[in-house]
Amino acid sequence: MKSVRVMGVFATIVITVFTSSCNNKVVSVPPGYIAKVLTPTGWEDKVYEAGQVDIGTTDSVGRGNQLVLCEATSVTIKEQFAKPSPENGNEDHRIITKDKTPIAVDVYVQVMVPDDKKLRDSIFSQVTPTPEGDQGRVSKITLDQVYTQFAKMSIRGKTRQIFSGYNGYMDVMQHYDEASKRVGGMIAETFEENRVPLKLVAGQLSNVKADETIWTAETGRCSSRSLCH
Protein backbone atom coordinates (compact mmCIF):
# COMPACT_ATOMS: atom_id res chain seq x y z
CA MET A 1 0.00 0.00 0.00
CA LYS A 2 2.84 2.31 0.93
CA SER A 3 4.58 1.62 -2.38
CA VAL A 4 1.38 2.50 -4.23
CA ARG A 5 1.20 5.87 -2.47
CA VAL A 6 4.88 6.53 -3.25
CA MET A 7 4.31 5.69 -6.89
CA GLY A 8 1.29 8.01 -6.91
CA VAL A 9 3.31 10.90 -5.50
CA PHE A 10 6.12 10.21 -7.98
CA ALA A 11 3.65 10.19 -10.85
CA THR A 12 2.22 13.52 -9.70
CA ILE A 13 5.73 15.04 -9.57
CA VAL A 14 6.53 13.75 -13.05
CA ILE A 15 3.28 15.13 -14.44
CA THR A 16 3.89 18.53 -12.77
CA VAL A 17 7.45 18.77 -14.10
CA PHE A 18 6.33 17.71 -17.55
CA THR A 19 3.48 20.22 -17.58
CA SER A 20 5.75 23.03 -16.37
CA SER A 21 8.37 22.27 -18.99
CA CYS A 22 5.71 22.29 -21.68
CA ASN A 23 4.46 25.71 -20.52
CA ASN A 24 7.87 27.37 -20.50
CA LYS A 25 7.87 30.57 -22.53
CA VAL A 26 10.59 30.93 -25.13
CA VAL A 27 11.03 34.42 -26.57
CA SER A 28 13.43 35.88 -29.11
CA VAL A 29 16.06 38.58 -28.85
CA PRO A 30 16.07 40.11 -32.36
CA PRO A 31 19.25 41.22 -34.16
CA GLY A 32 20.35 44.67 -33.07
CA TYR A 33 19.25 44.16 -29.47
CA ILE A 34 20.63 42.89 -26.18
CA ALA A 35 18.46 41.67 -23.32
CA LYS A 36 18.35 40.80 -19.64
CA VAL A 37 15.90 38.66 -17.67
CA LEU A 38 14.07 40.32 -14.78
CA THR A 39 12.93 37.75 -12.20
CA PRO A 40 10.46 38.41 -9.35
CA THR A 41 13.50 38.82 -7.07
CA GLY A 42 15.72 40.95 -9.33
CA TRP A 43 17.87 40.96 -12.45
CA GLU A 44 19.79 37.97 -13.73
CA ASP A 45 23.45 38.85 -14.31
CA LYS A 46 23.68 37.46 -17.85
CA VAL A 47 23.27 39.71 -20.89
CA TYR A 48 21.71 37.94 -23.89
CA GLU A 49 22.39 38.75 -27.54
CA ALA A 50 20.38 37.76 -30.63
CA GLY A 51 18.75 34.36 -30.17
CA GLN A 52 16.08 32.62 -28.11
CA VAL A 53 15.68 32.83 -24.34
CA ASP A 54 13.61 30.54 -22.12
CA ILE A 55 11.99 32.79 -19.50
CA GLY A 56 10.16 29.94 -17.78
CA THR A 57 6.58 29.72 -16.56
CA THR A 58 4.27 31.90 -14.50
CA ASP A 59 2.80 30.99 -11.11
CA SER A 60 -0.87 30.80 -10.17
CA VAL A 61 -1.18 34.60 -9.92
CA GLY A 62 0.69 35.32 -13.15
CA ARG A 63 4.11 36.18 -11.74
CA GLY A 64 7.15 35.11 -13.72
CA ASN A 65 10.32 36.21 -15.40
CA GLN A 66 10.31 39.05 -17.92
CA LEU A 67 12.63 39.66 -20.86
CA VAL A 68 13.73 43.28 -21.24
CA LEU A 69 15.20 44.22 -24.62
CA CYS A 70 17.53 47.15 -25.24
CA GLU A 71 18.61 48.61 -28.58
CA ALA A 72 22.24 47.82 -29.33
CA THR A 73 22.73 49.53 -32.70
CA SER A 74 23.79 53.08 -33.41
CA VAL A 75 20.95 55.61 -33.21
CA THR A 76 20.98 59.25 -34.38
CA ILE A 77 18.77 61.66 -32.48
CA LYS A 78 17.77 64.98 -34.01
CA GLU A 79 17.33 67.99 -31.75
CA GLN A 80 15.32 70.47 -33.78
CA PHE A 81 14.72 74.10 -32.88
CA ALA A 82 12.18 75.02 -35.54
CA LYS A 83 9.26 77.31 -36.26
CA PRO A 84 5.69 76.14 -35.56
CA SER A 85 4.60 73.13 -37.59
CA PRO A 86 2.42 70.02 -37.13
CA GLU A 87 5.63 67.99 -36.70
CA ASN A 88 6.70 69.90 -33.57
CA GLY A 89 3.24 70.29 -32.06
CA ASN A 90 2.72 73.74 -33.61
CA GLU A 91 5.00 75.23 -30.94
CA ASP A 92 7.69 77.74 -31.81
CA HIS A 93 10.99 76.15 -30.77
CA ARG A 94 13.27 78.57 -32.62
CA ILE A 95 16.23 80.05 -30.76
CA ILE A 96 16.24 83.78 -30.02
CA THR A 97 19.66 85.29 -30.66
CA LYS A 98 21.31 88.23 -28.90
CA ASP A 99 19.70 90.78 -31.25
CA LYS A 100 16.24 89.26 -30.51
CA THR A 101 15.85 87.59 -33.90
CA PRO A 102 14.82 83.92 -34.23
CA ILE A 103 16.87 81.22 -35.96
CA ALA A 104 16.10 77.56 -36.62
CA VAL A 105 18.81 75.11 -35.58
CA ASP A 106 19.28 71.35 -36.07
CA VAL A 107 21.66 69.35 -33.89
CA TYR A 108 22.44 65.65 -34.30
CA VAL A 109 23.51 63.32 -31.50
CA GLN A 110 24.63 59.80 -32.45
CA VAL A 111 24.75 57.23 -29.64
CA MET A 112 25.31 53.52 -29.06
CA VAL A 113 24.83 51.13 -26.17
CA PRO A 114 28.10 51.20 -24.14
CA ASP A 115 30.63 48.36 -24.17
CA ASP A 116 31.11 48.57 -20.41
CA LYS A 117 28.96 46.00 -18.59
CA LYS A 118 28.31 48.24 -15.57
CA LEU A 119 26.97 50.98 -17.81
CA ARG A 120 24.79 48.50 -19.67
CA ASP A 121 23.43 47.18 -16.39
CA SER A 122 22.67 50.74 -15.27
CA ILE A 123 20.43 51.23 -18.32
CA PHE A 124 18.31 48.24 -17.33
CA SER A 125 18.17 49.29 -13.69
CA GLN A 126 17.38 52.98 -14.24
CA VAL A 127 15.14 53.16 -17.33
CA THR A 128 11.53 51.96 -17.31
CA PRO A 129 10.90 49.68 -20.31
CA THR A 130 7.83 49.84 -22.54
CA PRO A 131 5.69 46.65 -22.75
CA GLU A 132 5.91 44.86 -26.09
CA GLY A 133 2.79 42.72 -25.77
CA ASP A 134 3.21 39.00 -25.12
CA GLN A 135 1.12 39.27 -21.92
CA GLY A 136 3.55 41.75 -20.37
CA ARG A 137 6.48 39.35 -20.30
CA VAL A 138 8.52 41.17 -22.95
CA SER A 139 9.38 44.89 -22.85
CA LYS A 140 11.83 47.21 -24.59
CA ILE A 141 14.16 50.11 -23.85
CA THR A 142 15.18 52.38 -26.73
CA LEU A 143 18.33 54.47 -26.79
CA ASP A 144 16.13 57.50 -27.42
CA GLN A 145 14.49 56.79 -24.04
CA VAL A 146 17.87 56.68 -22.32
CA TYR A 147 18.99 59.89 -24.04
CA THR A 148 15.73 61.66 -23.17
CA GLN A 149 15.95 60.67 -19.52
CA PHE A 150 19.58 61.65 -18.99
CA ALA A 151 20.58 64.28 -21.56
CA LYS A 152 17.81 65.84 -23.65
CA MET A 153 16.78 68.79 -21.46
CA SER A 154 20.38 69.75 -20.69
CA ILE A 155 21.46 69.64 -24.33
CA ARG A 156 18.50 71.68 -25.54
CA GLY A 157 19.01 74.29 -22.83
CA LYS A 158 22.74 74.59 -23.43
CA THR A 159 22.26 74.80 -27.20
CA ARG A 160 19.99 77.80 -26.67
CA GLN A 161 22.64 79.37 -24.42
CA ILE A 162 25.32 79.00 -27.11
CA PHE A 163 23.32 80.65 -29.87
CA SER A 164 21.86 83.37 -27.66
CA GLY A 165 25.36 84.88 -27.65
CA TYR A 166 25.38 85.54 -31.41
CA ASN A 167 23.94 88.64 -33.08
CA GLY A 168 21.54 86.95 -35.44
CA TYR A 169 21.85 84.56 -38.36
CA MET A 170 24.64 86.32 -40.22
CA ASP A 171 26.84 86.39 -37.11
CA VAL A 172 26.29 82.64 -36.64
CA MET A 173 27.20 81.92 -40.25
CA GLN A 174 30.34 84.03 -40.04
CA HIS A 175 31.42 81.96 -37.03
CA TYR A 176 29.87 78.66 -38.09
CA ASP A 177 32.95 76.50 -37.41
CA GLU A 178 33.32 78.00 -33.96
CA ALA A 179 29.62 77.43 -33.20
CA SER A 180 29.82 73.85 -34.43
CA LYS A 181 32.83 73.10 -32.20
CA ARG A 182 31.09 74.66 -29.22
CA VAL A 183 28.00 72.52 -29.79
CA GLY A 184 30.07 69.34 -30.16
CA GLY A 185 32.09 70.11 -27.03
CA MET A 186 28.95 70.96 -25.07
CA ILE A 187 27.34 67.62 -25.96
CA ALA A 188 30.42 65.66 -24.88
CA GLU A 189 30.62 67.60 -21.60
CA THR A 190 26.93 67.07 -20.91
CA PHE A 191 27.25 63.32 -21.38
CA GLU A 192 30.11 63.28 -18.89
CA GLU A 193 28.51 65.63 -16.35
CA ASN A 194 25.12 63.87 -16.44
CA ARG A 195 26.73 60.42 -16.43
CA VAL A 196 24.68 59.39 -19.42
CA PRO A 197 24.94 55.57 -19.70
CA LEU A 198 25.45 55.70 -23.46
CA LYS A 199 28.44 55.74 -25.77
CA LEU A 200 28.58 59.09 -27.59
CA VAL A 201 29.59 58.44 -31.20
CA ALA A 202 29.16 62.00 -32.46
CA GLY A 203 27.46 65.26 -31.55
CA GLN A 204 27.38 68.10 -34.03
CA LEU A 205 25.63 71.12 -35.42
CA SER A 206 23.77 70.13 -38.58
CA ASN A 207 21.96 73.16 -39.90
CA VAL A 208 21.14 76.80 -39.13
CA LYS A 209 18.38 78.74 -40.86
CA ALA A 210 17.32 82.36 -40.58
CA ASP A 211 13.71 83.30 -40.04
CA GLU A 212 12.08 83.78 -43.45
CA THR A 213 11.31 87.47 -42.84
CA ILE A 214 14.87 88.13 -41.65
CA TRP A 215 16.32 86.25 -44.61
CA THR A 216 14.20 88.26 -47.06
CA ALA A 217 15.35 91.50 -45.47
CA GLU A 218 19.02 90.43 -45.52
CA THR A 219 18.93 89.33 -49.16
CA GLY A 220 17.12 92.53 -50.07
CA ARG A 221 19.86 94.65 -48.50
CA CYS A 222 22.58 92.56 -50.14
CA SER A 223 21.04 92.96 -53.58
CA SER A 224 21.49 96.72 -53.27
CA ARG A 225 25.04 96.58 -51.87
CA SER A 226 28.24 95.32 -53.38
CA LEU A 227 29.74 94.48 -49.98
CA CYS A 228 27.27 91.68 -49.08
CA HIS A 229 29.30 88.64 -50.15
Inside any domain, residue 106: yes
- What is the structure's pLDDT at 10? 40
Query: Domain containing 185 — which CATH number?
Result: 3.30.479.30
Inside any domain, residue 218: yes
Provide the domain limits for residue 188.
Answer: 75-128+143-223
Residue 12 has pLDDT above 60, yes or no: no
Give the least confident one: 17-26, 30-39, 106-115. 17-26
- What is the structure's pLDDT at 17? 39
C-alpha span between 77 and 109 (Å, rounded): 5
Confidence of residue 11 (pLDDT cuts 50, 70, 90): very low
Inside any domain, residue 89: yes
Q: Which residue has the higher pLDDT, 8 or 100?
A: 100
Confidence of residue 212 (pLDDT cuts 50, 70, 90): confident
Inside any domain, residue 14: no
Inside any domain, residue 159: yes
- Pick from 71, 86, 73, 74: which is nearest to 34 by CA? 71
Helical axes 153-163 vs 176-193, angle rounded to 10°: 150
Inside any domain, residue 81: yes
Residue 183 has pLDDT above 90, yes or no: yes
Mean pLDDT, the chain, integer: 84
Inside any domain, residue 118: yes
Q: Please provide the DSSP assignment of 18-37 as one string.
A: HHHHHT--EEEE-TTEEEEE
C-alpha span between 143 and 197 (Å, rounded): 10
- Residue 62: left if φ>0, alpha if ψ -120 to 50, beta else—which one? left
Residue range 83-112, pLDDT digits in tens:
877 666 678 899 999 999 999 999 999 999
- Looking at the structure of the chain, the number of domains it has is 1
Inside any domain, residue 105: yes
